Amino acid sequence: MKLAFSTLGVPGLPLPDVVRLAGDCGYDGVELRTHPEEPVHPGLLPVERAAVTAAFADAGVELLCLAGYVRVAASGPDGPVLEDLAELVRLAGELGAPYVRVFPGAGEPPAAEADTVAARRLGAIAPLAADSGVRVLLETHDSHSRAQDAVRILGPVGHGSIGALWDVLHTWRGGEQPESSLPALAPHLGYVQVKDVASAENTAPLPLGTGVLPLAGCVGALSASGWDGWLCWEYEKRWYPQAADFAQLAGPGREYLRGLVAAAPAAR
């Protein structure tokens, strides 16, 4: 399995320093939070886009995903949602990122038609994603935090350029263990976000292996199924500024994940 981390863990760090940190700590890739306040977003000029590509190439690090904030199940007209999503997909294709992250965002409780709305929008963007060499991944998050919720959207889409991003925290908080989340998500799975927290109520980020999330069970289930994709550590320091400095945790976190992978059972 390949390892990455999210730039949520290093808010404000210039992009060259981000990719340097990844390379120095032995990570294979980086997930970029894609927002106007971040170094990478759809408003970048062509010369700025070229600089992003060069920074990753020079460091020998892969750009895993543009983690955007489009909410595909949100109420309202399709047009603005599809425009924002198309901008992200085009940017990802230009930068060489294989994935774009989207949220459900249907509200609580989600409207009865939210699944249909989200599936329609994802289906509409699928041809552009395919042409751009990009997969759009619906994260297990907010209104559709469990695997069983996400697949109600993904199943009807039925397109190879639309998939799932498994955030282990949210499926676990929704009452699912990895052994039940994975079979549902497996036909759609792009990659997996891992993290650790103290409890379902206290979600401030902790060093991997010091909290309560079933990370060994997650990696074990993935390995036993024969899956050999990406694990991305999403350390949410941007939302918890009091959390420990990610740069000091990045190396030990990589070693922890490598240990889980090494100890996981072989594919059955």
Q: Is the pLDDT of residue 268 over 90?
A: no
CATH superfamily, region 2-263: Divalent-metal-dependent TIM barrel enzymes (3.20.20.150)
pLDDT top residue among 15 and 267: 15
Domain boundaries, the chain: 2-263
Q: What is the mean pLDDT of residues 220-241?
A: 96
Closest by CA to 164, choosing from 191, 141, 144, is 191
Q: Is the pLDDT of residue 110 over 90?
A: no
Mind listing the pLDDT tens digit for each residue in 144-164? 999 999 999 999 999 999 999
139: phi then psi, degrees, rounded to nearest 5: -80, 140
Mind listing the pLDDT tens digit for each residue in 22-80? 999 999 999 999 999 999 999 999 999 999 999 999 999 999 999 999 999 999 999 99
Q: Which residues pair with 23 in a beta bridge?
A: none
